[in-house]
Amino acid sequence: MTRGERIKDALTGGRGSHWHPTDALVRGAALGVGLVVVGGLLHRVELVLFGAPLLISTLVALVAKVGGKPVVNVRGLPRTGEVGAAKSVVEVDACGGAEVVAIRLPVDRPGLGPVHLLPASTRAVEVVLRRDAWGEGVDLRPDHLVAGPDGLLVFGPVTGAERGRVILPPVHQLPAGLLPARARGLVGAHRARRPGDSVELRDIRAFQPGDRLRRVDWRVSLRAGTLHVREHHAEADADVVLALDTRFDVDRDVGSWSVASPEGAGGDGAERRKGRHARRHAGGDLGGAGRVTRPGGSLDLAVRAAASLAAGYLRQGDRVGLVDLGRPQLSVRPGAGRRQLLRLRNQLVVCARSAGWAQKPVLRREQLPHGALVVVLSPFLDADAVELSVHAARRGHVVLAVDVLPKDLLPDRDTPWGAAALHVLRLEHEVRLEAMRRHGVAVVTWDARAAAISAVLREAARPGVRR
């Protein structure tokens, strides 16, 4: 026995790693021997008749051939999955001589689940796991105990290894809106401002040396008396950068909102404790539920919107990247293809898991390709997110601000000033949105309607338009 096994046996009382007798066997042996001895001494036949079966069953359990180490494995559970039901198989090898297997398996919901009693001849158990929330979580932990004849010898209980999955954020099938032109690239689904080959007319101009004859517009040339050619827009793909604001995670109840002061940056102890409690509440329970954000909160809406927009843009061949405004080191460079969508959805879970208060959002210049569309997903509860969006627009990017603040906010019921505070909060929020509109930032409220986003982008992408 190794040193680690000896330490484990010392902590568990010597149980769990080998076959050992139960309390029933000890009580049966002691009671059987005692009744037989007392009945013989007192010449009481009824005592011997009561004690003899207990003693015989105990001796049978001791001479039964029970050995080996039971093995329980989980098969068919992937590391990542989608929202909904998934199947897994738990393989059981109870070894020879065992009669009953007690194993803890979930039913329809992930987690520990109830204890199931199965015959030792069972070799595989199919488990259906259903996760209705995206995020990380433990799906099952197959704790088990194997019992020998009459349950007098057992192996265990053994704490199984936790097996979990990362449930990716759901993707809503949304057609992407019109995108701005990109300076480089001559192939793609969007119109560029530079001349090239496409079906959309850009201009009609006089013939110049080097122009091809197939571009000559003969009707205009006959009327003007000189050769004129048709000039079309080039078709280019686009770069899209999704800027996710993970500093806030608020729900409809304003009374549950809390902002924690940074570590060591002042603030009294009660405020820091309140902030830590809010972060724990926002983090959710990873033990089976798979939820890392407040359901229906701003971060939940932002992650779902980012996943849906990324899927729509990647479907039409664009390059999509991700920037975490609170933690820039978690960003993903723009890329294309189905693997990029999987990478973005996994990184969205990582960003949500690491979400928390940051002093100031960060969007570096090198994180934005030239001419990229910047989609800022934020509840816009402070002026920092507004300034970041405006600065990106001033650098020549088309910026789309997606407001993910939950609708129908509820005032704080613990204070008589809850309604007034909520009214001020709404006014400040509207002032921030209007300030972005006046500086050329397209603003839309996320409601999973592609028509609204397409209309806003169509207007924002028009050249020379200053909203």
The residue type at 384 = D
- Residue 96 binned pLDDT confidence (cut-offs 50, 70, 90): confident
- Residue 200 binned pLDDT confidence (cut-offs 50, 70, 90): low
Residue 191 has pLDDT above 70, yes or no: no
Every domain of the chain and the residues it spans: 17-63, 71-167, 200-233, 239-254+291-461
- Residue 11 binned pLDDT confidence (cut-offs 50, 70, 90): very low
- Distance, in Å, from the CA atom of 152 to the CA atom of 140, rounded to the nearest integer, reads 28
Weakest mean pLDDT among 20-24, 122-126, 186-190: 186-190
- Distance, in Å, from the CA atom of 239 to the CA atom of 11, rounded to the nearest integer, reads 57
Inter-axis angle of helices 23-42 and 45-63, nearest 10: 150
Q: What is the mean pLDDT of residues 48-55?
A: 83
- Residue 90 binned pLDDT confidence (cut-offs 50, 70, 90): very high
Class of domain 239-254+291-461: alpha beta
Percent of the chain clearing pLDDT 90 (strictly above): 27
Cα separation values, 199 from 39, 147, 167, 208, 444, Å: 107, 77, 43, 21, 31
- Distance, in Å, from the CA atom of 397 to the CA atom of 394, rounded to the nearest integer, reads 7
- Distance, in Å, from the CA atom of 439 to the CA atom of 270, rounded to the nearest integer, reads 40
pLDDT attached to residue 461:
53
Q: Which CATH architecture has domain 71-167?
A: Sandwich (2.60)
- Residue 456 binned pLDDT confidence (cut-offs 50, 70, 90): low
pLDDT attached to residue 260:
43
Residue 86 has pLDDT above 50, yes or no: yes
Q: Is 20:154 a contact under the CB 8 Å cutoff?
A: yes
Instruction: Name 144's bridge partners.
Output: 103, 158
- The overall average pLDDT reported for the chain is 78
Weakest mean pLDDT among 45-49, 98-102, 339-343, 452-456: 452-456
DSSP 137-179: EEEE---EEEE-GGGSEEEEEE-PPPEEEEEPPP---------
The residue type at 178 = L
Helix (H, G, I), strand (E, B) or coil at 34: helix
Q: Is 24 exposed, middle or buried (0-12, 13-18, 19+ CB in 10 A)?
A: middle
Q: What is the dihedral of CA 272, 277, 283, 284, to 10 degrees?
A: 180
pTM listed for this prediction:
0.71
Q: Is 105:142 a contact under the CB 8 Å cutoff?
A: yes
Q: Which residues contact 208 (CB under 8 A, 6 or more apart)?
A: 229
Sign of CA dihedral 464, 375, 83, 279: negative
Helix (H) or strand (E) holding 338: helix 338-353
Same fold, 71-167 and 239-254+291-461: no
Q: Is 207:228 a contact under the CB 8 Å cutoff?
A: yes
Degrees, nearest 5: CA angle 386-284-296: 50
pLDDT attached to residue 428:
95
pLDDT attached to residue 463:
47
pLDDT attached to residue 455:
65
pLDDT attached to residue 7:
41
Residue 206 has pLDDT above 50, yes or no: yes
Q: What is the mean pLDDT of residues 228-257?
A: 82
Helix (H) or strand (E) holding 89: strand 84-93
> Per residue in 406-446, pLDDT tens?
988 989 888 889 899 999 999 999 999 999 999 989 898 88
Centre a 10 Å sphere on the Cβ of residue 464 and count the other Cβ atoms it contains.
Answer: 4
- Residue 247 binned pLDDT confidence (cut-offs 50, 70, 90): very high
pLDDT attached to residue 69:
86
pLDDT attached to residue 246:
93
Residue 405 has pLDDT above 90, yes or no: yes
> Per residue in 277-313, pLDDT tens?
443 333 333 344 445 678 888 999 999 999 988 998 8
pLDDT attached to residue 462:
55
pLDDT attached to residue 222:
87
